């Protein structure tokens, strides 16, 4: 074979080997980048988990600090100067509704504070028709367990009359709460339970439990509740002839 052909073949071989080396180096770089990206993603996930755990721990610590020390208080005559069994007592009122409480059995514990979870049994009755629309002690069928109703008092999760009435009760107390107008379901009523608009309601309640933890809604949740609970009602002006529409959040 001539010398020129040998040189050409050798040059071609060197070109091929250099091309394959460059390709392999590019692949290595790509693999290295992918590995780095995966590691970075894993680190980010771990950091997020750590941050969540830290936030939860802080919240728990803050709640523990906020927890008031409750001592079981037993009633005496001075605590019940204004309370008598069977005598109605006005708890709250505004221009469009009333909340009234009648004690049926004295309680021997403390009163709930805003943000505390309470558990109670309740029987709800419509005042005019005397029709019962709710009973927490009633079994709804086979396998149904009777459970008390639970909610956080004073946070707007229930009707206005419940928040006002339950905060006026003591642990272990049984009372009759009468609510009208805006302290009940107002002009909207409650179609699910067959409650018509502006229906006066009576609730017989037994306060069974008061939790120690206080959780209050933030300003954004309060705004949502105000928008959701907006009622429109009729208001008569001073002349007594003209009807005026006014809408207000409760």
Tell which residue, 57, 19, 198, 209, has the closest CA to residue 121: 209
> What is the model's pLDDT at position 247?
36
Q: 166-196: string of b/e by CB count within 10 Å (b at 16+)? A: bbbbbbbbbbbbbbbbbbbbbeeebeeeebe
Output the pLDDT for position 250: 32
> CA-CA distance, 125 to 163, in Å (whole number)?
18
Q: For the chain (length 250 residues), average pLDDT per consecutive 10?
A: 54 53 70 80 81 77 56 52 84 93 92 94 95 90 86 92 95 96 92 93 96 84 66 40 36
Structure token pair of residue 246: 């006014």
Q: What is the pLDDT of residue 20?
A: 54
Residue 89's φ and ψ, nearest 5 degrees, are: -135, 130
pTM over 0.75: no
Closest residue by Cα to residue 100 from 160, 170, 153: 160
CA distance 79 to 89: 15
> In this predicted structure, what is the pLDDT of residue 225?
66
Q: Write out the DSSP string of 203-220.
A: EEEEEEEEEEEE----HH
Structure letter (DSSP) for residue 158: S
């Amino acid at each position: 074979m001539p010398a020129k052909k040998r040189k050409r073949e050798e040059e071609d071989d060197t070109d091929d080997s250099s091309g394959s080396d460059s390709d392999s180096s590019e692949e290595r770089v790509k693999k290295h980048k992918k590995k780095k990206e995966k590691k970075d993603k894993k680190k980010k996930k771990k950091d997020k988990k750590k941050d969540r755990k830290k936030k939860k721990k802080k919240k728990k610590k803050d709640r523990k600090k906020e927890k008031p020390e409750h001592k079981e208080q037993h009633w005496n005559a001075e605590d019940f100067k204004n309370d008598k069994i069977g005598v109605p007592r006005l708890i709250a009122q505004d221009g469009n509704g009333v909340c009234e409480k009648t004690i049926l059995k004295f309680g021997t514990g403390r009163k709930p504070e805003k943000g505390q979870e309470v558990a109670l049994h309740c029987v709800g009755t419509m005042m005019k028709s005397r029709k019962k629309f709710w009973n927490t002690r009633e079994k709804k069928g086979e396998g149904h367990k009777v459970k008390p109703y639970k909610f956080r008092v004073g946070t707007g999760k229930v009707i206005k009359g419940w928040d006002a009435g339950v905060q006026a009760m003591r642990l272990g107390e049984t009372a009759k709460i009468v609510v009208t107008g805006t302290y009940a379901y107002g002009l909207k009523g409650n179609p699910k339970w067959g409650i018509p608009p502006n229906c006066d309601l009576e609730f017989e309640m037994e306060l069974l439990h008061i939790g120690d933890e206080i959780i209050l809604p933030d300003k954004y949740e309060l705004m949502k509740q105000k928008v959701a609970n907006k009622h429109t009602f009729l208001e008569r002006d001073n002349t007594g002839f003209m009807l005026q529409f006014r809408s207000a959040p409760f």
